[in-house]
């Protein structure tokens, strides 16, 4: 009887466990909660303040005036580098008040004497000069986030558009208009190649070659054909035209439309060979261009939207 009762108990326990296992297997696992985004990969950008501490750049003239006023009235206590001076003033680079100031609303009252009881005497200074000092302090504090990063980080990329469009237009009319037209092949070139640096490199080299800022597909093929060097070989009773493959004092090789090539022996001026190189004008100009010519012409081309 004891053995029988034990078997019955085991069967009942096993039957009770089966639904629990099935329920556990049928319930999908809870999705893992993604870790909060923080640090350099999250809400804070590498080498900069969190968004709430970022400010637009200040007025350069105001900052310059503030630097002068700071040197006269503040250096003794706070130091030339804002890290604290010989008279025991606090480090302004670590001041929460300096970090939070937006337009002098926190710094100006202190300059005017709101903390005299704490050891900060009032300074004789107009409100405009006080705001200028605050602007200078903010301009220094704003550089903290870029310490240890390359100088270009956070700075606007320099523009190559530094010339004069009117002088570039005159240069275009004198040197380029015989082959190109602002209302023809170059119409909308600044729209097709919106990056001024790529546009300048493109026209100096003699035309787009596809890829970034250039043309692709049929347009690239047409542009390639326009740059192809062709040759005409005039023989007694025959004229052969095609792509120039090779030429020297002894041989000229012509690529024909069907993909084949023909090579002709040369002896002095015979046979007559006429080479047409659409890029010759560009190559002839390369040693003649000045920096001003390139800057002015680029400034003109970026207006051809």
* 22-31, 68-77, 193-202, 203-212: least confidently modelled range: 22-31
The answer as to whether 157 is a domain residue is: no
Q: Alpha carbon of 132 to those of 60, 67, 138, 254, 256: distances in Å?
A: 10, 8, 10, 74, 74
Banded model confidence at residue 225, pLDDT cuts 50, 70, 90: low
Q: Once rounded to an integer, what is the mean pLDDT over residues 161-175?
A: 95
pLDDT, position 280: 86
Pairing relationship of beta strands 238-247 and 251-255 according to DSSP bridges: antiparallel
The answer as to whether 138 is a domain residue is: yes
Residues 270 and 257 in one domain: yes
Q: Once rounded to an integer, what is the mean pLDDT over residues 276-291?
A: 89
The answer as to whether 61 is a domain residue is: yes
How many helical (H) and strand (E) elements, i.e. helices and strands, does the chain have? 12, 5
Q: Once rounded to an integer, what is the mean pLDDT over residues 36-65?
A: 59
Banded model confidence at residue 164, pLDDT cuts 50, 70, 90: very high
- Paired with 246 in beta bridges are 253
Is residue 9 predicted with pLDDT exceeding 80? no
For residue 191 the two structure tokens come to 């729209």
Banded model confidence at residue 147, pLDDT cuts 50, 70, 90: low
Q: Please name the residues in contact with 251: beta carbons below 8 A apart, sequence gap of 6 or more.
A: 263, 264, 265, 266
Residues 178 and 206 in one domain: yes
Is residue 22 predicted with pLDDT exceeding 90? no
Is residue 32 predicted with pLDDT exceeding 60? no
Residues 214 and 132 in one domain: no
Residues 106 and 200 in one domain: no
Residues 175 and 206 in one domain: yes
Residues 296 and 209 in one domain: yes
**CA–CA separation, 211 vs 191, rounded Å?**
15
pTM of the model: 0.46
pLDDT, position 20: 45
Interval 169-219: pLDDT, tens? 999 999 999 989 999 999 999 999 999 999 999 998 877 543 333 444 444
Residues 289 and 189 in one domain: yes
Per the prediction, the chain carries an average pLDDT of 79
Domain that holds residue 287: 165-225+283-301
Residues 232 and 221 in one domain: no
- Name the domain count of the chain: 3
**When comparing pLDDT for 59 and 31, which is higher?**
59
**CA–CA separation, 108 vs 106, rounded Å?**
6
The answer as to whether 82 is a domain residue is: yes
Residues 217 and 235 in one domain: no
Q: Once rounded to an integer, what is the mean pLDDT over residues 51-59?
A: 66
The answer as to whether 199 is a domain residue is: yes
Residue 121 sits in a domain whose CATH number is: 1.10.760.10
Interval 133-142: pLDDT, tens? 999 998 888 7
């Amino acid at each position: 009887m004891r053995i029988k009762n034990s078997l019955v108990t085991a069967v009942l326990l096993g039957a009770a466990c089966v639904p629990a296992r099935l329920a556990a297997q049928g319930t999908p696992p809870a999705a893992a909660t993604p870790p909060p985004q923080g640090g350099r990969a999250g809400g804070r950008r590498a080498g900069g303040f969190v968004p709430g501490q970022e400010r637009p750049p200040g007025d350069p003239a105001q900052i310059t005036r503030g630097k002068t006023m700071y040197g006269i009235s503040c250096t003794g206590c706070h130091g030339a580098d804002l890290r604290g001076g010989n008279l025991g003033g606090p480090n302004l680079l670590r001041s929460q008040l300096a970090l939070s100031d937006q337009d002098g609303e926190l710094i100006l009252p202190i300059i005017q004497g709101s903390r005299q009881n704490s050891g900060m005497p009032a300074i004789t200074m107009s409100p405009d000069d006080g705001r200028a000092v605050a602007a200078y302090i903010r301009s220094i504090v704003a550089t903290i986030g870029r310490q240890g990063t390359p100088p270009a980080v956070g700075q606007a990329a320099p523009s190559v558009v530094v010339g004069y469009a009117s002088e570039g237009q005159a240069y275009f009319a004198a040197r380029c208009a015989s082959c190109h037209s602002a209302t023809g092949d170059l119409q909308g070139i600044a729209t097709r190649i919106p990056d001024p640096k790529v546009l300048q490199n493109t026209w100096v080299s003699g035309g787009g070659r596809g890829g970034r800022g250039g043309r692709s597909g049929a347009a690239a093929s047409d542009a390639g054909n326009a740059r192809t060097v062709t040759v005409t070989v005039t023989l007694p009773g025959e004229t052969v035209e095609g792509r120039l493959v090779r030429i020297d004092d002894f041989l000229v090789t012509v690529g024909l439309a069907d993909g084949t090539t023909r090579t002709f022996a040369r002896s002095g001026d015979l046979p007559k060979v006429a080479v047409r190189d659409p890029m010759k004008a560009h190559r002839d100009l390369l040693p003649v261009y000045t920096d001003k010519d390139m800057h002015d012409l680029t400034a003109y081309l970026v207006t051809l939207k």
